[in-house]
Structure 1
Amino acid sequence: MSPSPQRTPHAAHPDLQADCGSCFGLCCVALPFARSADFAADKAAGTPCGNLREDFGCGIHDRLRERGYAGCTVFDCFGAGQKVSQVTFGGRSWRTEPGSARTMYEVFPVVRQLHELLRYAAEALDLPAAKAVHRELREACAQIDALTRESAETLLAVDVPALRAEVNAHLLRAGELARAAVPGRKKNHRGADLLGARLRGAKLRGATLRGACLIAADLSGADLRQADLIGADLRDTNLCGADLTGALFLTQPQLNAARGDAATRIPAGLRRPGHWAA
């Protein structure tokens, strides 16, 4: 059997990639976190993390996991940070204009959700099999991109759940069309509770695992080629030796949350996490 073709790296546009150097450390300030296995301390929303430097960089960026901040390594704003910092607020930071801080913190998660939708839509537009919904996806991308460039007041009034539901219908169809090209019967685990499930070597090619809970599941050696993984929770999932070639809607944060090794095959455009086994 010939190997599944690698797609051109999807969602590679700079606007959809985090550029921390052009952001005012928004994820380190706007978002809250609680002391846990993922964070070494408590932090309230709107309070700068104790590791945030004056230049908005992270003082322990290269040592986040060893210092107890693994949760930071699995977060991705999909480019929303620099969009809010440089476009919405025109390069004026919450430090230089503290009066804008609260609004900036409220806008950031809205734009982050919009950029996440753009990232998924961009990938769907790279799927030749999903050509039937490309027009709708392009229209959605244009609408969402225009929204991300609106004023803070307009952004705060966006009905994100309604917009997400509209775009998700197109993404669902795109995933179905892409998976239809996979031979054989495809398994349906959409939204399934597979917490700690033993799925070593499972044949899941072309399966749908949309929104599935796979926390601490054993998927070592599993065949996940062309599987739809949008929204799947892969925290501490064992992906050692698994084949994720061509997996649909898989994101870097999902990979960062999982465990893998040198034998794990990942889609083009994604990076092998540094904490994975050699």
Structure 2
Amino acid sequence: MTSPDASPDEPHVPRVPHEPDRPELRADCADCFGLCCVALPFAKSQDFARNKSAGTPCHHLRDDFRCGIHTKLRVEGYRGCTVFDCFGAGQKISQVTFEGVSWRERPESARAMYDVFPTMRHLHELLWYLSEVVRLPAAEPVHEEAQRAYDAIERLTRAGADALLAVDVPAVRGEVNTVLLTASDLVRATVPGRKKNHRGADLVGARLRAADLRGATMRGALLVAADLTGADLRSADLIGADLRDARLNGADLTGAVFLTQAQLEAARGDGATKLPAGLTRPAHWAA
């Protein structure tokens, strides 16, 4: 995996962020032109109070590109906004791809900016997962491979808009997924005994209270409204698991791999829920 601008003689420069919270891979609305509030569509539902077309600014978007109801999104019926994470793609497009010039200042760039957003978001999500791999001691055999993949994707994210639109995202995801799967296997192998395989399983509303899911693979599992109260999810692989309204009260997610803040924001938990390092307890969870 190489970027169009990569040189075979280019020295290896570690790019994986060393800060535990990886600020460059977290949304920074202060440096973004409100792209998620403009580029993406949403439909009136339990997640959004009204319809909005792609490319149309949300009526709550202020002139300074900040949300006018940010502190009360859930109360106002915009729960969907609270569970969306661009992984820092918004500020990368705003400040790097389009060099700090907004779609308001240069309306002719708006369409390209909106079109690039989904691609950049996918690439930044992959950067988040790869940055996690190199922090997992058990995944040491693939640290170097993960680092190379991170470097290549990071270079892609600094390409121009046309180059970004030409990126074959499924192909890039396929390459990275090989690394992520190996890392997951290495981490889960540290858990003794037979591990459960719920990959892609339909567990909507499942009763999994106090379930032993240590080292389980829950990749892509549908856990909508599942009851995971008191469940043991230590070292489980939760990449892509749908945790909307899943009950995580008292659950142990210590060391869970590839879990994201957005997944936690979509779920329900409490003060007894144990989280992996680098993730925070959502404000709407019970005390």
TM-score range normalised by the length of the shorter chain: over 0.9
1:14: Cα distance to partner? Answer: 2.3
1:131: Cα distance to partner? Answer: 1.0
Q: Which residue of 1 aligns with 2:237?
A: 228
Q: Which residue, 194, 211, 214 being the options, matches 2:223?
A: 214
Q: Which residue, 180, 186, 197 being the options, matches 2:195?
A: 186
1:49: Cα distance to partner? Answer: 0.4
1:150: Cα distance to partner? Answer: 0.1
Q: Which residue of 1 aligns with 2:251?
A: 242
Tell me, what secondary structure is at the counterpart of 1:214? coil
Q: Which residue of 1 aligns with 2:84?
A: 75
User: Which blocks of at least 5 consecutive residues in structure 2 are unaligned?
Assistant: 1-17
Matched, 1:12 2:21: yes
Question: How far apart, CA to CA, are the structure 2 residues paired with 1:55 and 1:10?
Answer: 29
1:29: Cα distance to partner? Answer: 0.3
Report the CA distance shift for 1:212/1:11 in structure 2 as closer, same or farther (over 3 A). Answer: farther
Q: Which residue, 252, 261, 267 being the options, matches 2:270?
A: 261
Question: How far apart, CA to CA, are the structure 2 residues paired with 1:59 and 1:11?
Answer: 30
Matched, 1:130 2:126: no
1:12: Cα distance to partner? Answer: 2.6
Q: Which residue of 2 aligns with 1:22?
A: 31
Q: Give structure 1 regions of 4+ aligned residues with deviation exceeding 3 angstroms.
A: none
Q: Which residue, 44, 56, 75 being the options, matches 1:47?
A: 56
Matched, 1:145 2:145: no
1:169: Cα distance to partner? Answer: 0.8
Q: Which residue of 1 aligns with 2:120?
A: 111
Q: Which residue of 1 aligns with 2:164?
A: 155
1:177: Cα distance to partner? Answer: 0.2
Question: How far apart, CA to CA, are the structure 1 residues paired with 2:240 and 2:64?
Answer: 33
Contact 1:10 1:123 in 2 (8 A): no
RMSD: 1.0
TM-score (norm 1): 0.96
Question: How far apart, CA to CA, are the structure 1 residues paired with 2:126 and 2:83?
Answer: 18
Question: How far apart, CA to CA, are the structure 2 residues paired with 1:13 and 1:273?
Answer: 18
Contact 1:11 1:120 in 2 (8 A): no
Deviations 1:140-159 (A, max 9, x none): 00100000000000000000
Matched, 1:94 2:83: no
Counterparts of 1:154-173 in structure 2, within 5 Å, are 154-173=163-182
Deviations 1:205-261 (A, max 9, x none): 110000000001000110001100000000000101101011100000000000001
Q: Which residue of 2 aligns with 1:274?
A: 283
Report the CA distance shift for 1:11/1:100 in structure 2 as closer, same or farther (over 3 A). Answer: farther
1:56: Cα distance to partner? Answer: 0.2
Identical pairs, percent: 69
Deviations 1:81-103 (A, max 9, x none): 00000000000100000000000
Q: How many pairs does the alignment contain? A: 270
TM-score (norm 2): 0.93
Contact 1:199 1:218 in 2 (8 A): yes
Q: Given residue 121 of structure 1, which amino acid in structure 2 is its aligned partner?
A: L
Question: How far apart, CA to CA, are the structure 1 residues paired with 2:69 and 2:62?
Answer: 10
Question: How far apart, CA to CA, are the structure 2 residues paired with 1:179 and 1:229?
Answer: 12
Q: Given residue 223 of structure 2, which amino acid in structure 1 is its aligned partner?
A: L
